[in-house]
Amino acid sequence: MENILVAGANGTTGKMIVDLLQESQDFKPVAMVRKEEQKAYFTAKNIETVLVDLERDVSPSFDTNNPIDKVVFAAGSGGKKVQEVDQDGAIKLIDESKKQGVKKFIMLSSMGADTPEQVPELKDYLVAKQNADNYLKQSGLPYCIVRPGALTNDAGSETIALELKLNKQGEISRSDVAKTLVQTLNTAIANQVTFEIIKGQTPIEKAIIALS
């Protein structure tokens, strides 16, 4: 089983990712949390945790019982510290992942990150995501960048619309985003690629395999 570090594990989408990994036959999650009190949720489920603040030194992310194989970056500042967390925190974790020989880095980004100026109310956030995405692309790490539309808390359908560029707006459930991210962990598919997703009619696994 591969050990997957989940940055932002305490977030709504992060918890879904961790739960999917725990249920998987192929992956074992390691939850990265920022506060001591956030560890209880995961330790109650027998999930290893690491206490790391993305605004500080991120090297303890890899002080785990077993070496980290892959990383999912699902952390977010909630719009409060976009440069410190969404940009610089991601960049620090990319650097540390490269140093540690991580096999694949999965980035949860956002639709609009390629054209931040078109969404003035989210421009700072989208610029931060764009910078982090570009840094990952140039890092030399195997990567996959997933850019969902507006996130909802609706029940997942396990079907999506996926294109490198959708050229239309839309929503998608956090559940389906989490499932998409976990699917991209497969080393054989979705490599060195950036794509957008919203709710749609294609089964998630089929949509991702079609990229390869």
**Active site annotation includes 125:** yes
φ, ψ of residue 92 in degrees (nearest 5): -60, -40
CA-to-CA dists, residue 3 to 41, 71, 76, 90, 171, angstroms: 19, 9, 22, 19, 30
Residues β-bridged to residue 27: 2
CA dist., res. 175 & res. 157, Å (int) = 8
At CA 207, angle to CA 204 and CA 181, rounded to 5?
Answer: 50
Pairing of strands 202-203, 159-163: antiparallel
The catalytic residue among 41, 125, 135, 143 is: 125
Active site residues: 125
